[in-house]
Structure 1
Amino acid sequence: MKKLLSVTFFLITSLNGYAQKESADSLMKVLKTELNREHVYEVDKQKRINQLQAALLCVDSTDFDAQLNLYTRIYEEYHSYKFDSAMVYSQKILTLSKKFGKADELIQHKISQGNMLLKAGFYKEAFDNIRELAADSIPETLKSDFLNFGARLNAGIAEYDNDAYFSWNYKQQSAEYVKKAKRITPYNEFEHTINLAFQPDSVKQKKLTPDFFYHYIMRQQLPEHSLAMVATRISYAFTGQDRIFFLALAAINDIRSSTKETLAIFLLGQELFNLNKTNDAFLLLQEAVRNAKFYGARNRAVQIESLLPMVAAKLIDEQQHERDKLLIGILVFLIVAVVLLFLLVIYRRQFLQIKANDGVIKEKNSELESVNEKLWEASKIKEELIGLFFKTCSSYIEMLDKVKLQTQHNIKLGKYNDVNQFLNDVHIEEEKGQLYNMLDTVFLTMFPNFITSFNALLKKEDQIWPKTGETLNATLRIFALMRLGINEQEVIAKILDYSVSTVYTYKMRVKSRALVPANDFERKIMDIKFIDDDYPN
């Protein structure tokens, strides 16, 4: 598969230089396909591990080289795949090296273990390793590896701290390690060529294009995991589609090598997110966080999970925007369709409506005549009620005048006993009752359906109906006055000869039992019709 992919890329890029967008897009398609085949590579890896573990059971415990070879191969399978399993075999290698007194192998593997601890975010343990190594006598052949480990460790902790004060100190230590490593590291043409990618654009030659570096690393026939690391490093030298190209290449080879401690897919997700390719970014970041948790890279998992909510939120916003656009399009289409249909129906019915207009006009005129007749009848009722009201008031005034004259006459004649007898013959309560009956009669004449409409606002068990022989009771009379527009509790209390608190209590008691909110109850009372449509004329 790797050779086939290499040939395909070579053909694409060699046709006409380096096709940025097309190549990056084609690699993204390959990456998504490989994500679906990830489990296949994992099964193959597990088979290799099982075979090595089975072979380990058959090795003589006194054979150092055979044991070290198998332990190292199993460790290499695990070290970028699963941290805790890799640590198990790392400790076995250290124990084996100590047992046989192999100092160089012990130091070499401590360096390797330190790098693994660094990748998993165990910074303290990694520092413990480097302190132990610094106290040992490191062979010249391993000093370069030790110094590079020290540089990576201090750079990693500086990035993790992300603090202006503490990070600066770690960066300085990292730079010191790099300087020392350069002095003792032999010339490496491959590393030198890769470093050319990081020269300023003004210094780079025209041939140092992304296409050049791609073909250069592909000619090296690197293992998949090594190819992924090199492609990730080169990606830092470029931006945009060029960077996506190399990160996608690295992520593909990470999947094929079953590398779970992978930086490439995380960086690719970040880059796609910055370029507003949110769907792909979310897919890759989810894969990255799964890989980090599977491997056991706690620092990487936290780093990715801090970014995922932002990507998810943006993805939701974009999806909502797309749904809104689709909905608006559908609504516009429906509105246009409805308008056209409506116009067609109107056009079809216009002719029929013209014919029907005469009949409608006659029917409306008949309704207007009926309404006018009802209004006339209502006006006559008002006139009669107003006349009755003034006639009643006149009779009370006349009675009061007679009482006044008779009382004054008896006082002048000194007939005080007659005055008292005369006043006792005036029965106020009876007169008051007659007045209330008159008011009730007048009100129910104007609002014949008041009692029924009032009780419709209450539950059946809380309804208030007049007793036999009554027109209105005290509660109904209070709300009847309110329907007539008398809202002041003091005025109602004076008319009905109640205290203000009594009127308030009656009102609150009824409102608390109403089927409608208390604030709406009085409005519903005012909506009771003067003469209901169904009331017989």
Structure 2
Amino acid sequence: MKYIFTLLSIFFSLNLLSQNSELLNELDLVLSNKKEYSLKKEAKLDSLKLEVEKINTLGKGWERYQILLQIADEYARYKFDSAFNYSKQAIDLAYQINNANAIAYTKSKFGHLLVSVGLHKEAIDTLNSVITSHLKNEQLQDYYGYKVRAYYDLADYINDEYYAPSYRKMARSNVDSLLKYKQSETTKPVMTKAIRFLAEYQLDSAAYYYNYTLKNYHTTLHDEAMIHSCLGFINIEQGNTNEGRDHLIKSVIADVQTATKEAISLIVLANYFYNHNDLERAYRYILKAKEDALFFGSKQRLLQVSEVLPKIEGATLLATEKSKEKATRILWVLAVVAFVVIVLLMIVYRQLFDLQKIWAVINNQNKELKQLNTELQEVNKIKEKYIGHFFNTSSTYINKLETISKSLNTVLVSNNTQNLKSILRSISPKKERDQLFHNFDEIFLSLFPSFIEEVDKMLDADKKYTLKPGQILNTELRILAIIRLGIIENETMSQVLGVSINTIYTYKTKAQNRSSLSTELFFERLNQIKSV
């Protein structure tokens, strides 16, 4: 059972991490498209301004007033200077058309605008100057809501033991007034209750009303931004940091989508990531919060940013310095490693260079061995052929000698000189030598079938050999054949061929003169002729 609970806890933890990751990704996506939301806001404002310019004729003051008030509302959370300017125009026009309700309502909204930039005294003076009897019931709900925020914000700003309690007491009395005029379909009464409990640090009660509002009312994106911002604060205060962070993220997303520049959620979220050592996000978010505060023109928000930004910048600089020191240490280590590697590479290169030399020698020796093997194989073939021929020839001559010996014995016994002459006539050294050369030629060409063609390739075109009918090799080719077999001594060749040394030299010279090749190249090419 214990293992099942462990597995379930791991599953829910992983699921929570996945949701957090999705929320952060959504936030970063929304922030990357922040400019587009601002452009939509600007486009809407430009459209309203064009309508104001069109309504310039007398008798249309009310229509002009309504559009000016709408422009002021659009600017209220976007850009203070413009909101201030259009609110003043709307108030002036309300006086011009002498509409008491418009004057009271516009002044109450103007007081609320002043609260957003921290002009608490001016805001309360403006709200107190409103003649409440000129407001409708649904407008009174908003009016008292504005006063609630004004007094609670002033109490938080002063935050002392003397004035702050009295301002909180006045805020509570305005909550009671608001509840007298509450509109059942609106979120204002419920959210005002939540604000009261939050201001009194009754966090559970505040969280209940905020969650109740989300579940039971149709809320705008701006309402959701406010609710999630407060729920984020409550959860973080109660130690539910993950839930608190998620509420803050949702609040920031809603603020960006409504192009709200007067917001605190991004500042709080940046501070959250600072406290949780995610300095990259903290620094990125606080810079965006500063950008919004500068754009909106709120000294109060800039003051809040200035409380968070320095410590984030300091931590970021410290982390950067540590990273630089770490990077420096790593660079030194890498430099040492690189030096060692270079030394090792030089040693290895030297060894490889020596090995290449050795391999070159081995390759040359292998080539020489291959060449020697080829030559040995060729020599073996030649030996096999000519040893076989030697034994055949020797056997033939032994048989002939045996026959002659018997014939001579018979002649000697019979003393028949006529038979002796006949026997001597049957012996022909020239015929035997010609037969020897014929056999030599046949065996040689069986070993070197392309010999004549290869020799002709070395000769000049008009000096190639032409053999007589029935002739296998002539004397010159035979001498070249003997040289190809490795017999180069003129004396040996003269004995084999039965001619003088001068004759051998003459034939060799004639053969060489048939070619334009040098003597060395001629005999080198001759010895390169391959056997079968």
Query: TM-score, structure 1 length as denominator?
Result: 0.53
| Residue 33 (structure 1) aligned to one of 29, 33, 37 | 29
- Contact 1:266 1:288 (8 Å CA) reproduced: yes
Q: How far apart are the structure 2 equivalents of 1:309 and 1:202? A: 33
Code of the aligned partner of 2:47:
Q
Code of the aligned partner of 2:33:
R
Code of the aligned partner of 2:82:
S
- Compute the displacement of 1:80 (Å): 0.9
Indicate yes or no: 2:153 matched with 1:152.
no
Q: In structure 2, do the counterparts of structure 1 residues 203 and 308 end up closer, same or farther at CA, with 3 Å as the change threshold?
A: closer
- Compute the displacement of 1:49 (Å): 1.3
- Contact 1:61 1:67 (8 Å CA) reproduced: no
Q: In structure 2, do the counterparts of structure 1 residues 348 and 94 end up closer, same or farther at CA, with 3 Å as the change threshold?
A: closer
- Contact 1:82 1:296 (8 Å CA) reproduced: yes
Structure 2 equivalent of residue 381 of structure 1? none
After superposition, what is the alpha-carbon deviation per residue over 1:405-448, rounded to whole angstroms, capped at 9, x for unaligned? xxxxxxxxxxxxxxxxxxxxxxxxxxxxxxxxxxxxxxxxxxxx
Q: Secondary structure at the match of 1:133?
A: coil
Q: In structure 2, do the counterparts of structure 1 residues 176 and 274 end up closer, same or farther at CA, with 3 Å as the change threshold?
A: farther
| Identity score, percent | 20
Q: How far apart are the structure 2 equivalents of 1:342 and 1:220? A: 75
Q: In structure 2, do the counterparts of structure 1 residues 26 and 195 end up closer, same or farther at CA, with 3 Å as the change threshold?
A: same
After superposition, what is the alpha-carbon deviation per residue over 1:26-68, rounded to whole angstroms, capped at 9, x for unaligned? 2222222322322222222222111111112222431244223
What is the total number of aligned residue pairs between the two structures?
330
Q: How far apart are the structure 2 equivalents of 1:97 and 1:238? A: 44
- Contact 1:21 1:241 (8 Å CA) reproduced: no
- Compute the displacement of 1:184 (Å): 4.4
Structure 1 equivalent of residue 317 of structure 2? 316
Q: How far apart are the structure 1 equivalents of 2:179 and 2:223? A: 21
- Compute the displacement of 1:305 (Å): 1.6
Q: In structure 2, do the counterparts of structure 1 residues 221 and 172 end up closer, same or farther at CA, with 3 Å as the change threshold?
A: closer
| Residue 116 (structure 1) aligned to one of 110, 113, 117 | 113
Q: In structure 2, do the counterparts of structure 1 residues 87 and 347 end up closer, same or farther at CA, with 3 Å as the change threshold?
A: closer
Query: TM-score, structure 2 length as denominator?
Result: 0.54
- Contact 1:49 1:77 (8 Å CA) reproduced: yes
Measured on the aligned residues, the alpha-carbon RMSD in Å equals 3.9
Q: How far apart are the structure 1 equivalents of 2:202 and 2:15? A: 22
1:220-239 pair list within 5 angstroms: 222-239=219-236
Q: How far apart are the structure 2 equivalents of 1:41 and 1:310? A: 30
Unaligned runs of 5+ in 1: 1-14, 350-537
1:302-341 pair list within 5 angstroms: 302-335=303-336, 338=339
Q: In structure 2, do the counterparts of structure 1 residues 22 and 201 end up closer, same or farther at CA, with 3 Å as the change threshold?
A: farther
Q: Secondary structure at the match of 2:250?
A: helix
Indicate yes or no: 2:294 matched with 1:293.
yes
Code of the aligned partner of 1:274:
N
Q: In structure 2, do the counterparts of structure 1 residues 64 and 19 end up closer, same or farther at CA, with 3 Å as the change threshold?
A: farther
Question: Larger Cα Rg: Structure 1 or Structure 2?
Answer: 2
Q: How far apart are the structure 1 equivalents of 2:202 and 2:165? A: 24
Indicate yes or no: 2:67 matched with 1:67.
no
Unaligned runs of 5+ in 2: 1-10, 351-532
Structure 1 equivalent of residue 100 of structure 2? 103
- Compute the displacement of 1:183 (Å): 4.7
Which structure has more relative contact order (CA 8 Å, sep 6+)? It is: 1
Q: In structure 2, do the counterparts of structure 1 residues 256 and 61 end up closer, same or farther at CA, with 3 Å as the change threshold?
A: farther
Q: In structure 2, do the counterparts of structure 1 residues 209 and 74 end up closer, same or farther at CA, with 3 Å as the change threshold?
A: closer
Q: How far apart are the structure 2 equivalents of 1:309 and 1:130? A: 36
Q: How far apart are the structure 2 equivalents of 1:18 and 1:221? A: 32
Code of the aligned partner of 1:153:
A
Structure 2 equivalent of residue 92 of structure 1? 89
- Contact 1:24 1:248 (8 Å CA) reproduced: no
Structure 1 equivalent of residue 447 of structure 2? none
Q: How far apart are the structure 1 equivalents of 2:203 and 2:223? A: 26
Q: How far apart are the structure 1 equivalents of 2:14 and 2:60? A: 53
- Contact 1:20 1:241 (8 Å CA) reproduced: no
- Contact 2:87 2:106 (8 Å CA) reproduced: yes
- Contact 1:83 1:296 (8 Å CA) reproduced: yes
Q: How far apart are the structure 1 equivalents of 2:168 and 2:264? A: 20
Structure 2 equivalent of residue 11 of structure 1? none
Q: In structure 2, do the counterparts of structure 1 residues 189 and 220 end up closer, same or farther at CA, with 3 Å as the change threshold?
A: closer
Q: In structure 2, do the counterparts of structure 1 residues 324 and 19 end up closer, same or farther at CA, with 3 Å as the change threshold?
A: same
- Compute the displacement of 1:17 (Å): 11
Q: In structure 2, do the counterparts of structure 1 residues 164 and 277 end up closer, same or farther at CA, with 3 Å as the change threshold?
A: farther
